[in-house]
Amino acid sequence: MILSDKTIRDLLDQGQLGILPLVDDQINPAGPRVGKQIQPASVDLRLGTHFLKLDEHNIAYIDLENPAKYISFEKEEIILPPHSFMLATTMEYIRLPHDLTAFVEGRSSIGRMGLFIQNAGWVDPGFEGEITLELYNANQLPIKLTAGRRICQLVFAQLDQEAYYPYRGKYQGQRYATGSQIYFDFENEQD
């Protein structure tokens, strides 16, 4: 079941769900609170200031057994060239309870401009950290991005019961854009 804005607000108010910082809501004199970030069935997340791009001029290829080489930088504003890929992070630090999962969707208005946004995998129950975003510019023109701008939305779904093994993986507690750590997967373990 996808959570509504009311349930999201209740979980935030009770401290069961964590999203920090979250822009204050607007007061609607004719009815309930109107969210700046909380939407009818999601929460908008904002672009942070940390980015990673593959160091493509200093590596011959990417493999799954070794760490990829990235160039890390912090900026308030970036230009994403045409047909290019970059990792970014959200401003918000997320904390999910053991009975809630989430997934990241790009905002429709951003997708209509040719910017594809994905997160680095499903957000598992028990995850805590900033969300690393995968940005791809499908255009022939560069796209200018500014930190603090709502860029994607987090959609929450209730599990039928609490996860037996909540997330405690290699990205737990991540801050900043985090590159692939696939080289830690069990397939790469030596006997």
Q: Which residues contact 52 (CB under 8 A, 6 or more apart)?
A: 70, 71, 72, 86, 87, 88, 177, 178, 179
Q: Which residues contact 105 (CB under 8 A, 6 or more apart)?
A: 42, 117, 152, 153, 155
In this structure, which amino acid lies at residue 118? Q
Which string of DSSP letters, residue by residue, matches 74-125?
E-SEEEE-TT-EEEEEEEEEEE--TTEEEEEEE-HHHHTTTEEEEESS-B-T
Out of 134, 162, 187, 189, the active site residue is 134
In this structure, which amino acid lies at residue 58? N
Per the CB < 8 A criterion, the answer to whether 103 and 122 are in contact is yes
Q: Is the Cα dihedral 160, 162, 168, 172 positive or negative?
A: positive
134 is catalytic: yes
In this structure, which amino acid lies at residue 68? A
Measured in whole angstroms, how far is the alpha carbon of residue 169 from the centre of its chain? Answer: 16
Q: Which residues are catalytic?
A: 134
